[in-house]
Structures are given as C-alpha cells and as structure tokens.
Amino acid sequence: MTQNQIDANYILTTVKAKVNEVLANYPAIDGPVGQLSEKVGVEKPFVALGIVLIPFLLLLFFGSGDFAVDMIGFLYPVYASIKAIESNEKSDDNLWLTYWLIFALFKFFESIADVFISSIPYYFVTKVGFLVWCFLPQTKGATIVYDMIVKPYIVPHLNLDTKKTD
C-alpha cells in the first residue's frame, strides 16, 4: 500500500467511527438509519453521510448554491472557532481570526463582482474549494491569502503600530 492509500484508509476508518459514535448518541436517528442501511446494503456511516450530504450537493448544483456554499464556509469554521476560543492555545485563535477576516473580505468582494463571476461555469464548486482550502488547518489557506494580499497591500495603509506585546 502507498502512503496515500494508508492515509485514505485511516481517514475513512476515522470518519466511519465518528459517524457511528454520533449515531449511537441519537437512538431515534440510529435505528432508522440502520434499517435503511440493511435495506440498501450500504454501511450505516455512509447512509448517514449521504442523508446529510445529498441535500447540500443538490442545493449546490441545482438550487440555491449560495446557501449550500455559505453553510460549508460557515459551519465547520464556527465549530472550530468556538473550540479555539475555549482552548488555552493562542495559535488556533490567530488561525480562525485570519479565516474570518478572509471570509468577510471574500464575501464583500464577491458581492461586488457577482455580476461577472456568477456566469463562470462551476463557480460554486470553485468557491467551495477555495473556502475549504482557506479553513483547513492543514493547508492554512487563509493565512496564505493574508500574507500574500492583506499584509502587503492593506496593512501598510492602516497606520497600525505593528509592535506586538504578549
């Protein structure tokens, strides 16, 4: 097995275990999902994920893609931000503060350029990819955008005292 296959298997196993753990906490949902899983012959975690993801994908491609994309760019970052606020670690606070700054700037500029970008094929998919890249702690995309755009082009015009005191 290659390293990518090992990583994918680990991620898949972890996701399945987490979904099973969540389902076990909600017997009213676990029972029907288990019954549906047996009927269709698909593992219970995949049925549960499908029930959650299919409506988002349908909205993304055929309906109000804005809502689905905003939920993707909003739900996990809110959870991770609360978790960061509650932890004693400062680096995660900085990561999520940077994400929310980039998210707000992105939404602002997107609203201005909507007339032009709304006609780009698969724009919603690209937007989802960008937002996920921005909020994933592994990629630190928001920090990259901040360092490449905000810091050199916006920060100098704010007349900030850049001396940090910790």
Q: Is residue 114 in some structural domain?
A: yes
Same domain, 88 and 73: yes
Map tokens 């949902």 to a residue.
29
How far is the CA of 133 from the CAs of 16, 41, 43, 64, 136, in angstroms? 23, 34, 29, 22, 6
pLDDT digits (tens, 9 = 90+) for 31-65: 888 998 999 899 999 999 888 888 777 766 666 66
Q: What is the pLDDT of residue 162?
A: 63
Last residue of a domain, which of 19, 45, 63? 63
Q: Is the pTM of this model over 0.85?
A: no
Residue 166 lies in a domain: no
pLDDT class of 151 with cuts at 50, 70, 90: very high
Residues 111, 74 within the same domain: yes
Q: Are residues 88 and 150 in the same domain?
A: yes
How would you label 63-102 residue by residue, b for 16+ Cβ within 10 Å and e otherwise? Answer: eebeebbeebbeeebeebbeebeeeeeeebeebbebbeeb
Residues 72 and 54 in one domain: no
Q: Are residues 22 and 70 in the same domain?
A: no
Instruction: Domain count for the chain, please give it.
Output: 2
Q: Is the pLDDT of residue 8 over 60?
A: yes
Domain assignment of residue 14, given as a range? 1-63
